[in-house]
Amino acid sequence: MLWVGLILAFITNCVAALIWQEYKVELEQQIESDQQIMEINRIKLIKQLEGYHYPSLDYAEKYQNLLRLYPDNFSTSEFYTYLISRISRGIEITSWRWLSQDGRLFLLMTFQGSFEQIRQLMTLALGYQKTSRLESVDIKLVEGRLTADLKLAFYLKEQVYEE
């Protein structure tokens, strides 16, 4: 009777080991498949972003023409109102900071959303009458959401601006 119990225990252990090995192989394949899908999506996103990438696109001429039509002072709250009233609901702005340097004003902004929402927000920001340049943009996937770090430059006739 002892031998029968030992044989049954051995068979049970062998079956459990086979099941575990099969599960482990399946899990490794799933992880590899997920990594391949993530890499494909990353490449697709990079390809899409290349279509929107204009290194240091300068709007200085546009700004100089518009300067004749608009007042000289720049209001950060006016820009904030302009942008917030037009962005889609899915965008979450996590950081917003103004920086004045060398007679130019910069906005450092971090926000989350879908690729299309990020593109729309960047287009809105660049379409603002006193936006001079998109200094930099860094888009990455953080906890399953796209996060963008954006640096916009604004030309000022004077260094004075409202906070």
Element (H, E) at 94: strand 92-101
Is the CB of residue 76 less than 8 Å from the CB of residue 83?
no
Residue 159: is its pLDDT beyond 50?
A: no
The more confidently predicted of residues 49 and 134 is 134
Q: What is the pLDDT of residue 71?
A: 52
Q: What is the pLDDT of residue 31?
A: 84
pTM: 0.52
**What's the 3-state SS for 62-74?**
HHHHHHCCCCCCE
Q: Do the strands 145-155 and 104-113 form a parallel or antiparallel pair, or are they unpaired?
A: antiparallel
Give the residue from 135, 137, 128 showing the smallest Cα distance to 45.
Answer: 137
Q: Tens digit of pLDDT for each residue in 46-60?
A: 666 666 555 555 556
Q: Tens digit of pLDDT for each residue in 3-44?
A: 888 888 888 888 888 888 888 889 889 888 888 887 787 777
Using DSSP's 3-state secondary structure scheme, residue 132 falls into strand
**What value does the mean pLDDT of the chain take?**
78
